[in-house]
Amino acid sequence: MIVLLDNGHGGIINKEYQTPGKRSPRWADGSQLFEGEFNRAIVNGMVQELSRLQIAYVNLAPEYRDVHLETRVKRANVYAGKKSFYLSIHSNAGGGNGSEIFTSPGDTKSDKIATVFGEEYQKIFPNRRLRTDFSDGDLDKERRFFVLAKTQMPAILTESFFMDNEEECKTILMTRGGRDKIIAYHMNAILKVKKDIF
Ligand SMILES: [Zn+2]
């Protein structure tokens, strides 16, 4: 099983964030989260664990620039036909709380994988909200669904918490402890998916 890791959006190059929008508000204490930095931190943490556990993976967008969605999909589809699944890492915005898991439309294997991710999320974050949406979801998420629709293998996208929710942003998304828990839930789910689904 090969895990195809997609860190959504761009990173930071010479202190300049590469993606318009996709950031938290600047909080009263001056702190601010850039989603692409967060997504990379989660993927990089997973890469360390996957290497240690000798689970095959591909980091689809190791660059710091914002790699185009079509390019990400093209890189993933090299592995079509092999035992692989696509996992896109994001944080949410738009007002709300908790986490969401989206799947590619109509793919039952994606739904099974998403269910495992949801279960492992709830073990690590028992007091936090989870919304699993195995349907097409809101239209305003269409840019996210592009990668789910165009990848030729089972595909899920996790939205970990809301970066514009100050409590979630400051206590989870911006902290080492919160990020470690997010990495842990993804890793526990990958191990279970490898064992039970692939
Ligand atoms: Zn995103």
Q: What is the tens place of the pLDDT at every residue in 54-77?
A: 999 999 999 999 999 999 999 999
How far does the centroid of ligand 1 lie from the alpha carbon of residue 29, in Å? Answer: 24
pLDDT score, position 117? 95
**Residue 138 sits in which domain range?**
2-196
Of 18-27, 115-124, 144-153, the one with minimum mean pLDDT is 144-153
Q: Is the pTM of this model over 0.85?
A: yes
Which helix (H) or strand (E) segment is 94 a member of?
none
pLDDT score, position 139? 42
How far does the centroid of ligand 1 lie from the alpha carbon of residue 177, in Å? Answer: 21
**Exposure letters 7-43 (e unless 16+ CB within 10 A, then b):** bbbbbeeeeebbbeebbbeeeeeeeebbbbbbbbbbb
How far does the centroid of ligand 1 lie from the alpha carbon of residue 92, in Å? Answer: 6
How far does the centroid of ligand 1 lie from the alpha carbon of residue 7, in Å? Answer: 9
How far does the centroid of ligand 1 lie from the alpha carbon of residue 95, in Å? Answer: 14
Asked if 159 and 99 touch (Cβ cutoff 8 Å), the reply is yes
How far does the centroid of ligand 1 lie from the alpha carbon of residue 188, in Å? Answer: 22
- Asked if the model's pLDDT at residue 52 lies above 70, the reply is yes
The domain tally of the chain equals: 1
How far does the centroid of ligand 1 lie from the alpha carbon of residue 93, in Å? Answer: 8
Q: What is the CATH number of the domain that holds 22?
A: 3.40.630.40
- Asked if the model's pLDDT at residue 166 lies above 80, the reply is yes
How far does the centroid of ligand 1 lie from the alpha carbon of residue 6, in Å? Answer: 11
